[in-house]
Amino acid sequence: MDLLSYSLVDLIPFSRETYFRLFERYNIGVWPAPIIGLAMGLTALFTARRADGWVLRAPFLLTAACWIWVGWVFQIHWYAPLSWPGIYFGMGFVLQGVLMAVVLGWGPILGSPEATDRNHGPGLWILLFALALQPLLGLLSGRPWYGLEVFGSAPDPTALATLGLLLMIRHPLRWLLSIIPLAWCLISGATLWVLSVPTWPVMPLAVVLYLGVIVWPWVSGRSQLE
Amino acid sequence: MDRSCVSSRRAFLAALAVAPLSFLVQPDKAWAADGQPITKPIPSTGEPLPVVGMGTWISFNVGGDPVARDARTDVLRAFFAAGGGMIDSSPMYGTAEAVVGSCLARLDRPEGLFSATKVWTSSTAEGLEQIATSERLWGLQRLDLLQVHNLLNWQGHLQTLSAMKADGTVRTIGVTTSHGRRHAELAQILETQPIDFVQLTYNIADRDVEARLLPLAAERGIAVIANRPFQGGSLIDRVKRHPLPGWAREIDCTDWSQVLLKFIVSHPAVTCAIPATSRVDHMEQNMAAARGDMPDAALRRRMAADVAAL
């Protein structure tokens, strides 16, 4: 398929109304998954602030499970029928979940001293935003509470929370784990922009913030993360 | 402006007689005034087609949403009540074909439907499976028009479609583009391929096709479907901030959508336009553009100039 002959609008063949209704139908259809996802997010939030033993891996394993759920259930079974790239998004989400589980939930992180060397500043704020504030942004667009996007079952807060978690650790493969969440932030921002959703800049701004926090120590000559 | 009173049957018989010369028919001479919409003949078959059809891009891609499906059924009901004919869709439009099929079933397969969809895959072999899926989704054993979407693998698919047409498993065939893409290649196809329809973007603001493609289609006896009549909504959003010009009354227009549609379908080479909507009131406004007087060449020039100046 000649992807270069298609524009961004071609990849989003639905209206804003249909997109919002998708989340309403999805939340009802998979209930109580949104509540379970949110509970997992809160668990990740509290365990992420601990730095000892298996608890270190808990937020990443929980988040990895959420990526797989969102990829398989939301992207492939709910989103893809509306827009064919959803299949590829779904595969990307599942891959991200597997990568996180393998890289941060298995051996390599154990005994890795730098893995526990965490900075809770910007990462914690991004995580808090993704869990508590980002879902409420939907209300600004006039969406009902049962159509809000929450961590663990919807892609945007899950991706954003993951970036927050990744900022809270140092790991040699952090760059690898950042690729898909960052890419999704840009894809989602573009989708919301095409749909004229007023909150579209949130996800692209998260990319800027994330890369800024990563790059700042090199730019400034200071090692803020150490 | 002339308004002839001809019945649909008489229009059909007349169209059969003049089909090869249909591109010479002035649109303001071809009107029906018996409550039915104005039609133009498909050059290759002579079959009359209402000049305003319906697109399904975005508007009918609502998935399994029962509320939205109810609303789309109402839209289709209004479309057929106004004498609508062509519904155009594509496998690329997500669930649009499934939704159209569901709505048609709920309306007991209205008479007058001219089903148009597309084949959209780079694989010729997969094209056959996709066409079978489309027939199933529409709930039809035979589609009226199959088009190669966006010229994707048009060489392979046109062979398939030509064979299907010869077998009688599809009535007419064609190719599509949109957004002004690949016009040179499209011209080559019009010059060399035995197709019934070409679909392209044409509206009062996007008029590149007037120079070569529309005259070429007329010369070759190929019906023209104009997509993106409102530029996906942005054109009508831009013009509706302004009051309707005085000449709008001369061609029986009460809103901008009718002005924009009448500009398109009054071009002698254009067979029909396919605006998309998810609202019954908009559908009724669109279908009203298939009635009343049409602009002549002089007024069309004035319309284009006035809209460009807005």
In a domain? residue A87: yes
What is the mean pLDDT of the segment spanning A116-139? 83
Q: Judge: B150–A82 Cβ closer than 8 Å, yes or no.
A: no
pLDDT tens-digit map of A44-64: 777 766 655 566 678 888 999
**A172 pLDDT tier (thresholds 50, 70, 90):** confident
Q: Judge: B62–A21 Cβ closer than 8 Å, yes or no.
A: yes
pLDDT tens-digit map of B66-78: 999 999 999 999 9
What is the mean pLDDT of the segment spanning A105-124? 58
B21: DSSP letter: G
pLDDT tens-digit map of A129-161: 999 999 999 898 889 999 999 999 999 999 999
Judge whether residue A181 has pLDDT over 80.
Answer: yes
Output the DSSP codes for A65-94.
Answer: HHHHHIIIIIIIIIITTT-THHHHHHHHHH
Judge whether residue A80 has pLDDT over 60.
Answer: yes
Of the listed ranges A114-128, A202-216, B34-48, B66-80, the least confidently predicted one is: A114-128
In a domain? residue A211: yes
**B234 contacts: CB under 8 Å, gap ≥ 6:** none
Q: What percent of chain B has pLDDT over 70?
A: 89
The mean pLDDT of chain A is: 86
Rounded distance between C-alpha atoms, residue B294 and residue B52, angstroms:
13
**Shortest CA gap B64–chain A (Å):** 9
Of B59, B63, B179, the CB nearest to A7: B179
Query: Per the structure block, which two tokens stand in for B102?
Result: 């569901």
In a domain? residue A220: no
Judge whether residue B87 has pLDDT over 80.
Answer: yes
Residue A49's pLDDT is what? 67
Q: Judge: A21–B67 Cβ closer than 8 Å, yes or no.
A: yes
Rounded distance between C-alpha atoms, residue B218 and residue B20, angstroms:
9
Judge whether residue B5 has pLDDT over 50.
Answer: no
Residue B1's pLDDT is what? 40
In a domain? residue A34: yes
**CA angle at residue B202 from B159 to B169, to 5 degrees?**
25
Residue B33's pLDDT is what? 52
On chain A, the residues whose CB falls within 8 A of the CB of B96 are 13
Judge whether residue B221 has pLDDT over 90.
Answer: yes
**B230 pLDDT tier (thresholds 50, 70, 90):** very high
**Shortest CA gap B46–chain A (Å):** 34
Sign of CA dihedral A209, A214, A220, A226: positive
Interface of A with B in 10-39 (CB under 8 A): 10, 13-15, 17-18, 21-22, 25
Residue A38's pLDDT is what? 86
Site from A3, A18, A191, A194 to mutate, B interface, most B CB atoms within 10 angstroms: A18
What is the mean pLDDT of the segment spanning A63-88? 96
Residue A1's pLDDT is what? 55
Amino acid at B269: A
Judge whether residue B165 has pLDDT over 70.
Answer: yes
What is the mean pLDDT of the segment spanning B276-300? 94
Q: Which residue has the higher pLDDT, B195 or A216?
A: B195
**B30 pLDDT tier (thresholds 50, 70, 90):** very low
CA distances from A140 to A95, A134, A147, B86 (A): 32, 11, 12, 39
What is the mean pLDDT of the segment spanning A17-24? 96
Q: Judge: B94–A2 Cβ closer than 8 Å, yes or no.
A: no
In a domain? residue A7: no
Judge whether residue A13 has pLDDT over 90.
Answer: yes
Judge whether residue B4 has pLDDT over 80.
Answer: no
Residue A2's pLDDT is what? 58
Residue B23's pLDDT is what? 41
**CA angle at residue A223 from A221 to A226, to 5 degrees?**
170
On chain B, the residues whose CB falls within 8 A of the CB of A21 are 62, 65, 67-68
In a domain? residue A4: no
**Shortest CA gap B63–chain A (Å):** 6
**Shortest CA gap B60–chain A (Å):** 8
Judge whether residue B9 has pLDDT over 70.
Answer: no
Of B57, B152, B179, the CB nearest to A2: B152
Judge whether residue B252 has pLDDT over 80.
Answer: yes
Q: Which residue has the higher pLDDT, A124 or B9?
A: A124
**Shortest CA gap B120–chain A (Å):** 9
Number of domains in chain A: 1
Site from B69, B88, B93, B155 to mutate, A interface, most A CB atoms within 10 angstroms: B93
Of A7, A10, A21, the CB nearest to B65: A21
Report ipTM for this prediction. 0.86
| A17-20 own/partner pairs: CB under 8 Å, 24+ apart | A17/B68, A17/B278, A18/A82, A18/B58, A18/B61, A18/B62, A18/B63, A18/B65, A18/B68, A19/A191, A19/A195, A19/A197, A20/A138, A20/A141, A20/A143, A20/A147
The dotted CATH code for B50-309 is 3.20.20.100
**B29 pLDDT tier (thresholds 50, 70, 90):** very low
Q: Judge: A5–B182 Cβ closer than 8 Å, yes or no.
A: yes
Residue A60's pLDDT is what? 86
Residue A222's pLDDT is what? 57
Of the listed ranges A13-17, A170-174, B246-250, B266-270, the least confidently predicted one is: A170-174
Chains A, B: CB contacts within 8 A come to 54
Domain containing A61 equals 13-215
Pairing mode, strands B54-55 and B114-119 = unpaired
Residue A169's pLDDT is what? 81
Rounded distance between C-alpha atoms, residue B61 and residue A194, angstroms:
16
What is the mean pLDDT of the segment spanning A178-194? 97
Report yes or no: B75 and B285 within 8 Å, Cβ to Cβ.
no
The mean pLDDT of chain B is: 89
Judge whether residue B10 has pLDDT over 70.
Answer: no
Judge whether residue B83 has pLDDT over 60.
Answer: yes
